[in-house]
């Protein structure tokens, strides 16, 4: 007959896994510390954006469901909405879980994730799944897009590399970061995924500027960027077609033209949810062109509110960084904010017919599996990295002029 050890009050865990009062107090204390240290304003802004995205996917779901239905398989009008709710639940779990990590643990997780997703990018051209003419996904029992999870990991890994210079100015951090960017860009172009390559390059450029890129290199980077765009136009057919369609003004049947007309169809206040008609002709209404669906059914005023939410998120991160003394934290948070804001900026400009189509979702709003979880994970890592613990020693830094680089010192 099995016997249990004697029960000692306050000794930890009781018989059969019963949690004792001291453990409950410890758990409550940990949650209280997490709640005190994270940026609650940023968390609420993100949750508000996700809630608005839930309504937007509900509005766009009928258009995509009917468009993708066949004679043999008819999708329910709320098919994508119901799936989106499940992805959002998983995304929220990833967001909260990542935000509870310490700064060091968040950095380690991002490095491991970045290494794994970089291997995934190498595998995509070999064993990836082809969807709509692009091979960007791996089938691992579920569809996984490595580039989506690489986005938040890339910003943190790049910040980690660039922060080495604060400890040893002789380390070739600029060459290492540039080489990493070129490798990722080349792998993305093999898929092809020109839009993500542009976003990665923009995040890299923003971070090396914050890190103190010498002025003599700035002109070279700009010239290299213009040269890359020229090469894309000359040798990348899909990119050339999109640029030509954008510069030529398009036709009534172009995706971007349909999106801009749908966006303006609802006026300032919109037609009301599920009352829009132009959205029914939109391809990818629940993903790439969801901003246009918001414009038609909820109105331009809500579109402005969406833009303001993204602006508020980026500004909130920057305001919090004004009091930050750690170089790695500053670079990582700035990179994650640039990635989120840059992706939203590109998507909105495409819907306004001010930018060539990129096949890029509206972050935290569009329907998605890998993208939803990866974006929520990125926000969670951002919250974890910007947590403030007054008992931890921090490094302070000074960003000199563009040619001066970085110097570091210990806070007295």
pLDDT at residue 113 tops 50: yes
The answer to whether the beta carbons of residues 258 and 282 sit under 8 Å apart is yes
pLDDT at residue 231 tops 80: no
User: What mean pLDDT comes out for the span 211-234?
Assistant: 70
Which of 129-143, 316-330, 371-385 has the highest average model confidence (pLDDT)?
A: 371-385
Secondary structure element (H or E) that encloses residue 232, with its range: helix 215-235
End-to-end CA distance of the chain: give it in Å, rounded.
63
**Which residue(s) pair with 144 in the sheet?**
138
Report DSSP state, residue 278.
G
Domain edges within the chain: 45-83+159-368
pLDDT value for 248: 57
149 vs 139 pLDDT, higher one: 149
pLDDT value for 283: 83
pLDDT tens digits for range 142-201: 778 899 999 999 999 999 999 888 787 788 888 888 889 989 988 988 887 888 888 999
Phi, then psi, of 249 in degrees rounded to 5: 90, -10
The predicted model scores a pTM of 0.82
Q: Please, which residues have CB within 8 angstroms of residue 354's CB and are 6 or more apart in sequence?
A: none
pLDDT at residue 408 tops 50: no
pLDDT at residue 243 tops 80: no
The answer to whether the beta carbons of residues 310 and 282 sit under 8 Å apart is no
């Amino acid at each position: 007959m099995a016997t249990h050890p004697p029960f000692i009050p306050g000794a930890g865990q009781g018989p059969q896994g019963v949690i004792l009062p001291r453990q409950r107090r410890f758990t409550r204390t940990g949650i209280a510390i997490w709640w005190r240290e994270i940026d609650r304003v940023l968390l609420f802004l993100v949750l508000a954006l996700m809630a608005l995205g839930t309504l937007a996917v509900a509005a766009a779901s009928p258009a995509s469901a009917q468009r993708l239905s066949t004679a043999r398989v008819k999708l329910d009008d709320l098919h994508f909405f119901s799936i989106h709710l499940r992805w959002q639940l998983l995304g929220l779990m990833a967001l909260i879980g990542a935000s509870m990590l310490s700064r060091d643990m968040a950095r380690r997780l991002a490095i491991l994730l970045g290494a794994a997703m970089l291997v995934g990018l190498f595998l995509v051209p070999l064993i990836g799944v082809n969807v709509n003419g692009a091979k960007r996904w791996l089938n691992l029992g579920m569809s996984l897009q490595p580039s989506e999870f690489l986005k938040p990991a890339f910003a943190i890994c790049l910040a980690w590399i660039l922060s080495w210079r604060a400890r040893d100015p002789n380390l070739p951090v600029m060459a290492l970061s540039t080489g990493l960017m070129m490798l990722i860009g080349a792998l993305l172009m093999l898929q092809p995924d020109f839009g993500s390559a542009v976003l990665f390059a923009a995040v890299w450029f923003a971070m090396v500027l914050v890190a103190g890129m010498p002025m003599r290199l700035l002109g070279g980077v700009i010239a290299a960027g213009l040269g890359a765009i020229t090469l894309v136009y000359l040798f990348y057919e899909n990119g050339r077609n999109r640029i030509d369609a954008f510069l030529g003004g398009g036709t009534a049947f172009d995706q971007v033209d349909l999106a801009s007309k749908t966006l303006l169809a609802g006026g300032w206040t919109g037609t009301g949810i599920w009352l829009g008609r132009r959205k029914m002709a939109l391809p990818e209404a629940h993903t790439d062109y969801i901003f246009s669906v918001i414009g038609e059914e909820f109105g331009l005023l809500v579109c402005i509110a969406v833009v303001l939410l993204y602006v508020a998120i980026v500004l909130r991160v920057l305001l919090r960084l004004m009091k930050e003394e750690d170089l790695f934290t500053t670079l990582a948070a700035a990179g994650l904010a640039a990635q989120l804001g840059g992706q939203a900026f590109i998507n909105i400009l495409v819907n306004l017919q001010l930018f060539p189509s990129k096949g890029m979702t509206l972050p935290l709003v569009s329907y998605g599996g890998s993208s939803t979880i990866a974006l929520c994970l990125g926000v969670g890592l951002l919250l974890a990295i910007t947590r403030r613990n007054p008992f931890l020693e921090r490094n302070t830094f000074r960003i000199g002029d563009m040619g001066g680089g970085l110097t570091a010192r210990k806070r007295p």
